[in-house]
Amino acid sequence: MLTLTENAAQAIRDLTATAPEPSQSGIRISSQGEGASSLTLTLATAPEPADAVVEAGGARVYLDPVAATVLDDKALDAGADDQGSVSFLVTEQTA
């Protein structure tokens, strides 16, 4: 199952703090098209019916079935640039 770093959890909490339903809001990672060659990250107010839900540190990530399979053994990290723009990075899980 996908894991979240503390940086990623904080970034997600920051992004969803002003959402209409912050208690259920999170980010959703979904596949584009037929394959797993491209994943998209969007803000979501709730999971879709088939989504897997990852919760860590008060942050929620919703994964569509393809994304859940692709990211099963990965970790999600986050960072910000000098202008404060957040970027997410998928890395290998550490032991």
Structure tokens at 25: 């809001």
Strand partners, 4: 76
Is pLDDT at 35 greater than 80 in this prediction? no
Please say whether the beta carbons of 53 and 69 come within 8 A.
Answer: no
Strand partners, 80: 86
Structure tokens at 62: 């919703």
Q: Map out the domains of the chain as residue ranges.
A: 3-92
Please say whether the beta carbons of 65 and 50 come within 8 A.
Answer: yes
Closest by alpha carbon to 78, among 45, 41, 47, 48? Answer: 41
Q: For 48, phi and psi rounded to 5 degrees? A: -75, 160
Structure tokens at 65: 């079935």
What kind of architecture, by CATH, is found in domain 3-92? Sandwich (2.60)
pLDDT in tens, 52-86: 999 999 999 999 999 999 999 999 999 988 888 88
**Stretch 1-19: mean pLDDT, rounded?**
93
> According to the model, what pLDDT value does residue 51 have?
97
